[in-house]
């Protein structure tokens, strides 16, 4: 492809992107059955000869755009999916054009510099110990594996066992303690790194999903304790101060799973939920959730830089290390995209005040949602202290049917879950785009859906 042809193709993509942005609020939040039929347009064998790029891009826009989920609009409340900060989107376009490999500084000096800056800014924002290391990974599922692996290795090293060289066969036992309401990704990470999901000690939780301190299993210097900063259903936080102080006295390694909740540290209004988490040893967080950075942008933070490097480092005679930051030291991947570019743009353009304002706005919208629904006869099953709302009708069958009707309406989209044995509608307010009007329209959708069943 010649340069002028590439310019034309990028202009075409720009036109399509603007069309998508301009109509995001007019399209159903979830594509209807008629729109989904357009997916059949892609069903064909791989062509023997290449297709004209402009025609392929046209197909992608005309048949693909209508079948997307409108996460960048203001009425998507599914899972814990954030929107996208507009300046970060612009930076992502430029970064995609650069197409940098973030493994080594020699591969991309700009990426190494921005990773270093993001590391320092995040350590400051989360009030973590100076020198805490950050690795930029795909998401919390991966950052959990990194943090837990670093903790596992350090705990076994205390028993004179080197996991890196000796593996896990014949290794001393490591005790793992976590709340019974821990996210499924935590159990997946434990299974993935060889600690096993069925060998953990589960701490009982209260009716908000928080570990009950009085019922925490005994801890010692061979224990890995995993805490939750943001229960995936209720949004609740484990009692960080009390549990972290007790764990530090016992010598345990503490990992905080803060996929969306760690950002509570940024606002004085929500900091009390987070306070004490800075006493941990490692932390997981997603920038693509609450912060509204683009996908995929997870972060592993570890107080002991050498422990993280030891757990993840690869070696090879062909690798060219620098005196500056080499990002692959802090991640499992070598070749990976330069996530820090759009993360830097997000933090740079928001600033500390902007991040705090975003957190406060999401919490305010969640409370508005809860109050509006409760005033109209829905039951709210959690204390809405962050951005999660658990909603139920008079019984499971009505709740489930109401949820199905909401999802089919196209006016907004929420997911379902089970909470303390009861079916619930789970509302996650995660997008900076969500307005008062979006919440009111969504409450109206709830009312129409319940009436229809």
- Are 301 and 132 in contact, with CB atoms under 8 Å apart? yes
- Computed on alpha carbons and rounded to an integer, the radius of gyration of the chain in Å comes to 23
pLDDT of residue 190: 96
The answer, yes or no, to whether residue 356 has pLDDT greater than 90, is yes
pLDDT band, residue 187 (cuts 50/70/90)? very high
Distance, CA of 222 to CA of 282 (rounded, Å) = 16
- Give yes or no for residue 341 having a pLDDT over 90: yes
pLDDT at 174: 87
Strand segments, DSSP code E, in 87-165 are 133-137
pLDDT of 314 > 90? The answer is no
For residue 3, pLDDT over 90 is answered with: no
Place of tokens 């959690």: 382
pLDDT at position 313 over 90: no
Class of domain 91-347: alpha beta
Q: Is the pLDDT confidence value at 4 over 90?
A: no
Q: For 282-304, write each residue's pLDDT tens digit.
A: 999 999 999 999 999 999 999 99
So what's the pLDDT on residue 155? 97
Name the pLDDT band for 1 (thresholds 50, 70, 90): confident
417: alpha, beta or left? (left if phi > 0; alpha if psi -120 to 50): beta
pLDDT, one tens digit per residue, over 242-282 is 999 999 999 999 999 999 999 999 999 999 999 999 999 99
Cα gap 277→262, rounded to integer Å: 9
Give the global pTM: 0.96
Q: Look at 183-192, 221-230, 315-324, 391-400 and tell me which has the smallest mean pLDDT.
A: 315-324
Q: How confident is the model at residue 85 (pLDDT cuts 50, 70, 90)?
A: very high
| C-alpha dihedral sign at 271, 273, 275, 277 | negative
């Amino acid at each position: 492809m010649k340069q002028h042809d590439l310019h034309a193709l990028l202009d075409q993509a720009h036109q399509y992107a603007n069309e998508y942005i301009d109509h995001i609020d007019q399209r159903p939040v979830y594509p209807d059955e008629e729109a989904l039929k357009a997916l059949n347009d892609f069903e064909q064998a791989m062509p023997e000869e290449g297709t004209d790029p402009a025609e392929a891009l046209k197909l992608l826009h005309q048949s693909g755009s209508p079948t997307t989920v409108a996460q960048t609009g203001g009425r998507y409340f599914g899972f814990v999916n954030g929107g996208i900060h507009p300046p970060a989107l612009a930076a992502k376009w430029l970064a995609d054009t650069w197409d940098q490999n973030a493994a080594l500084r020699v591969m991309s000096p700009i990426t190494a510099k921005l990773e270093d800056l993001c590391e320092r800014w995040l350590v400051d924002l989360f009030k973590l110990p100076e020198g805490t290391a950050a690795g930029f990974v795909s998401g919390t599922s991966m950052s959990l594996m990194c943090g837990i692996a670093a903790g596992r290795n350090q705990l076994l090293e205390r028993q004179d066992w080197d996991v890196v060289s000796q593996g896990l066969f014949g290794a001393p036992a490591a005790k793992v303690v976590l709340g019974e309401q821990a996210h499924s990704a935590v159990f997946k990470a434990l299974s993935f790194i060889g600690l096993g999901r069925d060998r953990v000690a589960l701490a009982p939780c209260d009716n908000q999903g928080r570990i009950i301190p009085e019922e925490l299993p005994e801890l010692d210097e061979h224990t890995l304790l995993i805490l939750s900063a943001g229960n995936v259903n209720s949004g609740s936080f484990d009692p960080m101060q009390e549990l972290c102080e007790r764990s530090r006295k016992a010598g345990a390694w503490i990992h905080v799973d803060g996929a969306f909740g760690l950002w509570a540290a940024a606002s004085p209004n929500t900091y009390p939920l987070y306070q004490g988490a800075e006493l941990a040893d490692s932390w997981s967080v997603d920038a693509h959730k609450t912060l509204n950075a683009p996908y995929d942008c997870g972060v592993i933070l570890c107080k002991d830089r050498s422990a993280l490097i030891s757990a993840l480092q690869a070696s090879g005679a062909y690798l060219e290390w620098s005196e500056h930051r080499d990002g692959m030291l802090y991640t499992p991947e070598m070749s990976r995209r330069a996530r820090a570019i759009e993360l830097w743009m997000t933090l740079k353009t928001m600033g500390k005040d902007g991040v705090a304002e975003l957190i406060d706005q999401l919490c305010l919208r969640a409370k508005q949602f809860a109050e509006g629904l409760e005033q109209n006869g829905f039951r709210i099953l959690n204390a809405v202290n962050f951005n999660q709302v658990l909603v139920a009708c008079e019984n499971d069958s009505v709740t489930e049917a109401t949820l199905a009707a909401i999802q089919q309406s196209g006016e907004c989209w929420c997911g379902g879950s089970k909470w303390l044995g009861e079916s619930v509608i789970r509302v996650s307010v995660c997008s900076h785009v969500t307005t008062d009007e979006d919440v009111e329209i969504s409450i109206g959708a709830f009312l129409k859906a319940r009436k229809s069943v």
